[in-house]
Each structure stands twice: as structure tokens, then as C-alpha cells.
Amino acid sequence: MLNIRAVTIHTIALGLCLASSAIGMANGSKLHKEVPAVVDRSLKIGHTDAKKLLHVTVSLPYGDAAGMQAFVNDVSNPKSANYRHYITPDEVGQRFGLSDDKVQVVTDYLKSQGIKVDLVAKNHLNVVADCTVDQAEKAFGTTINDYQVKDPGEHGNANYYSFATAPKLPDNVSGYVSDVSGLESFTKPIHLALTPTQARTLYNLAPMYNAGMQGQGRTVAISNWDGYRKTNIPLYYSHFSLPTPVGGVGTNVHYVSIDAANGNTATVGAEGDLDIQMVLGMAPLCDFYVYDNAGQSDLLGVLTREVNDNLADVISESYGWSIDAATATSAHNLHLSMSAQGITYMAASGDSGTGIEPYSYPDWEPEVLLVGGTVATTDASGNRTSEVGWSGSGGGWSTNTATFNTLPSWQHGTGVPTGNNHRLIPDVGFHASSSTGAYQFYLNGGLTSGYIGTSFASPVVAGSLAVAEQQIIANGGLPADGAGKRRFGRIQDLFYSQNGNPSIWFDVTSGSNGSLPNGATSNAGAGWDFVTGWGAINWNAFVASQSGPPTPDFSLNTTPSSQTVTVGGGTTYTTTTAAVNGYSGTINLSVSGLPANTTGVFTPSSGAAGGSSSLAVTTTASTPTGTFTLTITGTDGTITHTNTVTLVVNPVAVPNFTISAAPSSRSIKRGRSTTFTVTVTGQNGFSGAVALSATGMGAGESVTFSPTSINSTGTSTMTVSTTGTATRGTFTLTIKGVNGSLSHTTTVSLTLH
């Protein structure tokens, strides 16, 4: 069973959100928002489809408008002492926005109406949400109709929808809302749904693309299970003025049918068309393959063909799967083969935020690059004005128990949790959503932009990577392998080794996408995060970092990852090095982070790459106890690499003993006796004599021990004798063992009847 991560499914899911009646709407307050005047100059066509998806932005006023204005004036004044002493969006909200509890009133209301809140702005000025027409009508107390303008000269969309009466909100909410946009479509918006040109500019692919690097010589593929129409491709090329392949538009696109599938005649769900066009928008002259299983669900069949053909340098997938363990293992094995063959496979991380289950594969596949989503805002040319994490960006981790769902060796760096032994996602984040859609593309012969999802982000990255590879090769980089292929293979290793290098990666530090499996909120932040991974790449800077002959380097690895010692004792670790790209220098080893009064000595302390060294760690009687992180550093003066390992120092064990008795209870008649076996067990070298005694007996009861003491470890028989007149009842007898200052007890129960 599969769940297409296409925006169409995303839209349907939103359309199925439950909508309750508006709270207090009968007495609600109208917003200061008038019905567009064009409505009176238009023909009413009918009521807008109740399930139509709307993207709305609810605007909130400042809590201290005058204070905000004064602050802006002050920091903008060159003569002011506070000139350019700017603050963060969080600080704007905290100092001048509505309070958290008032913002919460608004978001709680929207959610109560079944509306999906995508983003609450840090500055407390906007709430971005998705809803159906039906939900919007109920939440905002209005009616939304379809209209057609009477005058074709109107400066707006000739066919549009609009609210017919002024929106209103309950009295307890309206005071915190200044505007609601997205309830009409007459006004032509600024193109926040990106064009290919804007996307190339946004992620700095434009310099190489404009210089003629447009995918020539690179092979890109998609794994496809949706219908598409080939006729959309020439429309897309024409509209966006893409360069024409030598044989004509479409001649560079090849369709590989799996199980006799034919996506060109299968039912269209938008995923197939957008995947094809997103790749071609970035790399229009690449050799492009569609591995087509439209209308079916043969995951392994598609992967097998891709592995077997070994044609594609880069492959993108935009689907999520719920598969059994056996199928998952088979798919994993195929992906391992792809990595061994140098194929870079990437996939959309999902459109439901941290709610990635149950359609979570390949989110937990370490051989696949997982592409999350952002919301990028650009100017008309595509230059970034802002980029935040998208609330729908698939992130977190799957709790699937597959043996390969563990933290990969390459997944480390600033912000990456070290104590979570799962495949963590996403790896990167690219534009996937906005109030008017993610990207423009052709669907059923018409240009559309009202779709969102990481389904866009993954193929855009795939096409962009192909162009970047082309430029790197032209610059003398990415040397051919033994089979003549020039590929990056599992590119995650490279990306994570860059550790968010700010010259290459745009770190997206705001936005959230839900609650993680451990209950924590998933927020974007500095470094890697569960919303956007490392963020968005600067392709031109990435190319510069990879161009030319490969740089000699070395690798460093220390095992085991953790050792435990007792105060005064010692242990060892082994550090191995290996040459990369012909490295021939001398590596010096050192260790830091040792606890006080502890030494660490490498033997040998330096040497050529390809050897190993033993690190002897020795503690003393005064070494503190606890858990310590040791950093092993290898350096030649220019290149430096580090590993971390754990050292656990436990206190010296103190001689002691334990005491127990069996059975735990006895029941006898008065005048009789019974026995219990008392056991003393020495610990940590204990060798003293333990004297035994008992308390808690009732009248007419007595206790004797044989023997009366136990040396180190042994047993004694405790006999309880009673008289014929002993008190009836149940008694708890406490048995005590004493050796000097050491004393331990155990209890048994005796019932007399």
C-alpha cells in the first residue's frame, strides 16, 4: 500500500479535516475587511466547491504599535545611539506583538474549526493556515462564491472566487485579528509559486545554468507510480523558454514501463507531471528516464529495474510506503546496490510534518537522501527575501524496528542528536510551499500553481544536482570511476561532512513541523534540525567546493565508542587512520576531555595514514567518577579530524553483603514450630562474620538461629517456636544481619492460628 506524497493527496487530506460550527458566530464581530468592489461588477456563477483548498493568512495587530514605531525610528536613525541595533523576529513578538496567550486564542480557534495551522510567525503578526472553502465559511462567518467579471478589462482574474459578505469572528477572537487574506482570488498575487528561473536564482544554480550547463551529459530519473501526460512537456518548455534538446522537445525523455504500465494513459494525480517538469525545469537538456509503474504499486520492480539498468546518475522519488519487514529489507538491499554503483537516490520526506507513519518508507532508509520542505519568499527575479521551515516538512524519525533503521555513521554534525539511534530526517530542505503553491507546472494542459509539498523539492534537487555535477566535471572534478561513471553516489556523507558550512548552506532557523516521537517540539534552529536538515544549498558554492582535483585527506576512527573503568584502573581505545585521495602526510594524535588526575597516552603518537594507534587511559585513586566525553584529534597542522568516545569512571566497590530469607511466609498452629532459611551473600570481597537476630515476634513466640552468625557467605536456619497460648494473628518478623557498621534486614511473615 502506498501513500503518494503528492500535493493532491495533501489537499485531499486537508479537505477531510473536521469542521465544527463557528463558536459564538451569531454575535461575532465583523473584521475591517470589505467585500471586493469587483463583486458588484461580476456575474455570480454559483457557490464555490466546498472542498476547494484555500491558503489563508490571518494577520494580527501589534500589541504596542506606538512602541514599535518608535523603536524602528530609533534604530533607523544614523544619529541615534541605537542605530542598527536590530532585534530578532522573536524579540519583535516578545516586545511589541500580542502576548503568547492572545496568539494562542487565535490559533486555538482556527484549529477548532478544522483549519490546519501551518505557521505561527515568530513576530506574532501572522498565522498561515490551510482550509477548505467549507471550513473557511464556517470559521469566518461568510459565503464564498465563484464569479466572472463582466468587463474583460478588469485588472484581475476574469474567473475568480470571493467572499460575499464581510468576514467576522467571535467576539473573543476578533479583537486579536486585523485581517484575513486568501478568501478571494480576483487579485493577482505576486508569484510566490516559483518559476524554474526563480528557483535557479534562489539556490544559486543560475550562474552555471546561464553559462550553458543545463544537464547535458547527465542522466536523471524518477521512480513513478502516477499518471502523467507527455503533452504537458512542450507546454512547459515553451512557457518557461527552456532550451530545446537536439532532437526536439521531449526527445531526451525516455519512458521505462514496469509491469506494462503506461502513465500517459493512466489516471493523472499531478505527481507524475510535477516530478517530470521539476527535474526538466532545472536540467532541461539532461537525459531523463521515467521508471513507470503508474497505477500500480510494484516498488521492488521499479528499484530492481533502476539498479539493473544502471543508467541514472541521480534518481528522485516522491512517494511513501507502508511495507512489511521483508519487502523493506529487499528494498534496502537494492538501495545498497545503488550506493555501491554510485547512484544518488533521493526522496521527498513527506508532507505531514513529524507524523510520518505509517507510510514512512523510505524515511528510515540510510541510503536515500531525504529532502524536506521550506517556505521561500523571493523577489520577481528569484532572489531570496526569506526562507523558513515548512510545517508540513517530513521530519523526525520512524520507530520501525528494521535493523537498518539506526543512526548512520555519516549522520553527525552540529545539531544532530547523538543519543538517538534512528535514521533522522530530513537531510536538507528546499522550497515546498507558499500561500499560492510551491512551483508552477502544467497539469492537464493548463498552467497551475496551487499545489504544495516536498514532492516538488526532491525532483528540483535532483535536476539541480545534475547541473552542478556537469559544472564540477567541466572544472576537473568528480573523476570517473572504474566503469567510467562520474557520480556522487550516497551524497549524504559529503553533505554532512560539510557540517552546515555557511558558505555552502543556507541555515533555515525558524519554523516548526510538529511533535517528535519523544514528545519534544520539532523546531528549526542553528545547524541541523528535524524541520529542514542542514537547510538549503548554494549550488554555485557547492560546485566551487568540489571542483578541480580531489583534495588529499585522511579519515580517523576510534573504537570502541565507550569504555568503563573503576577508579584507579585503566582501559584502551584503538584509533585507525586511512589515506584519502593520495594523502601522504604525518598525522599527530592527541586526546582531550580526560577527567582530572587521568592520563591518556597514544602508542605511537604519530605516523602515516593507514596505521593504528593504541590509546591507554589510566586513572588514579583521585580521579573523579562520572561519564566523560573524550575527543581524539588527528592533525598534520593543516588538516584536522576528530572523533569522540565515552569514558565511564565508576567508584571503587566497597565490601558489603546482602541478606534474604525463604520462604517469605509460614502458617502454623499455636504450640508448634517452623523454620526459615536465612542467606547472607558477601559482595566486593566481603569476608566478615554477620551476626543474626530477629524482632517482631508476638507473645509466646521465640526465635533461634543455627548458626548464630555467617562468615562472608552462607545460610542459617531460623527456627520459630510457639507456645500453646501464643497470640493468634499474622506477624512480620524482621531478620537483621550486622557486621560492624554494616547492617541489612529482610522480613518474613508468620501466621498463628
The answer on 434 and 316 residing in a single domain is yes
Domain that holds residue 574: 553-650
In sequence order, the 6+-apart residues with CB closer than 8 A to the CB of 340 are none
Q: Cα dist. 235→232, 273, 277, 281, 445 in Å?
A: 5, 12, 10, 12, 8
Cα 742–Cα 748–Cα 751 angle in degrees, nearest 5: 150
pLDDT for position 84? 40
Angle between helices 232-239 and 271-282 (to 10 degrees): 40
Cell of 149: 467579471
In a domain, 81, yes or no: no
The answer on 729 and 623 residing in a single domain is no
The answer on 263 and 146 residing in a single domain is no
393 and 374 Cβ atoms separated by less than 8 Å: yes
In a domain, 91, yes or no: no
pLDDT for position 193? 58
For residue 262, how many other CB atoms are within 10 A of its CB? 12
Query: How far is residue 348's CA from residue 513's CA, in Å, rounded to a whole number?
Result: 15
The answer on 262 and 243 residing in a single domain is yes
Query: How far is residue 564's CA from residue 578's CA, in Å, rounded to a whole number?
Result: 27
The answer on 157 and 13 residing in a single domain is yes
* pLDDT band at residue 182 under the 50/70/90 scheme: confident
Transcribe 127-175 into DSSP letters: EEEEEEHHHHHHHHT--EEEEEES-TTSSS-SEEEEESS--EE-HHHHT
* pLDDT band at residue 12 under the 50/70/90 scheme: very low
Query: Does the predicted TM-score (pTM) go above 0.75?
Result: no
Q: Going along 636-724, which residue ranges are E strands?
A: 640-650, 656-662, 665-668, 673-683, 689-695, 701-706, 709-711, 714-722
The answer on 249 and 105 residing in a single domain is no
In a domain, 87, yes or no: no
Cell of 2: 502506498
In a domain, 11, yes or no: yes
24 and 172 Cβ atoms separated by less than 8 Å: yes
* Position 700 pLDDT exceeds 70: yes
The answer on 560 and 522 residing in a single domain is no
Cell of 84: 542598527
Q: What is the pLDDT of residues 440-499, one digit of tens each?
A: 999 999 999 989 999 999 999 999 999 999 999 999 888 787 778 888 999 998 999 899
Cell of 405: 533503521
Percentage of the chain beyond pLDDT 90 is 70
Q: Which one is predicted more confidently, 678 or 153?
A: 678
| Residue 66 CB burial class (10 angstroms; 0-12, 13-18, ≥19) | exposed
pLDDT for position 626? 96
Number of domains composing the chain: 4
388 and 375 Cβ atoms separated by less than 8 Å: yes
The answer on 371 and 347 residing in a single domain is yes
Q: What's the rounded mean pLDDT across residues 320-341? A: 83
The answer on 532 and 636 residing in a single domain is no
In a domain, 370, yes or no: yes
Cell of 461: 534537487
Q: Smallest Cα–Cα separation from 48: which of 134, 169, 154?
A: 134
CA-based torsion, 25, 27, 31, 33: positive or negative:
positive
Q: What is the pLDDT of residues 31-46, one digit of tens each?
A: 777 898 899 999 999 9
Number of residues that make up the chain: 753
* pLDDT band at residue 300 under the 50/70/90 scheme: confident
565 and 627 Cβ atoms separated by less than 8 Å: no
Q: What is the pLDDT of residues 157-176, one digit of tens each?
A: 789 999 999 999 999 999 99
* pLDDT band at residue 11 under the 50/70/90 scheme: very low
pLDDT for position 37? 87
Query: How far is residue 473's CA from residue 492's CA, in Å, rounded to a whole number?
Result: 19
pLDDT for position 304? 84
From 181, 212, 247, the end of a domain falls on 181
698 and 725 Cβ atoms separated by less than 8 Å: no
DSSP-assigned beta bridge partners for residue 587: 607
Q: What is the pLDDT of residues 97-134, one digit of tens each?
A: 899 999 999 999 999 999 999 878 777 877 888 999 99
In a domain, 303, yes or no: yes
The answer on 567 and 487 residing in a single domain is no
Q: What is the pLDDT of residues 377-414, one digit of tens each?
A: 999 899 999 999 999 999 999 999 998 999 988 899 99
Q: What is the pLDDT of residues 527-579, one digit of tens each?
A: 999 999 999 999 999 999 888 766 788 889 999 999 999 999 999 999 999 88
In a domain, 575, yes or no: yes
The answer on 203 and 163 residing in a single domain is no
Q: Smallest Cα–Cα separation from 119: which of 414, 521, 390, 495?
A: 390
The answer on 395 and 529 residing in a single domain is yes
Query: How far is residue 295's CA from residue 599's CA, in Å, rounded to a whole number?
Result: 65
Task: Quickly tell me which residue has 581505545 as its cell.
Answer: 573
* Position 187 pLDDT exceeds 80: no
Task: Quickly tell me which residue has 507510480 as its cell.
Answer: 225
For residue 67, how many other CB atoms are within 10 A of its CB? 12
- CATH code assigned at 615: 2.60.40.10
Query: How far is residue 669's CA from residue 751's CA, in Å, rounded to a whole number?
Result: 8
Q: Cα dist. 224→231, 236, 302 in Å?
A: 17, 19, 8
From 152, 181, 210, the end of a domain falls on 181
Q: Going along 496-639, which residue ranges are E strands?
A: 505-506, 512-515, 521-523, 536-537, 553-559, 562-566, 570-580, 586-592, 598-603, 606-608, 612-619, 626-635
From 617, 650, 683, the end of a domain falls on 650
- CATH code assigned at 236: 3.40.50.200
In a domain, 85, yes or no: no
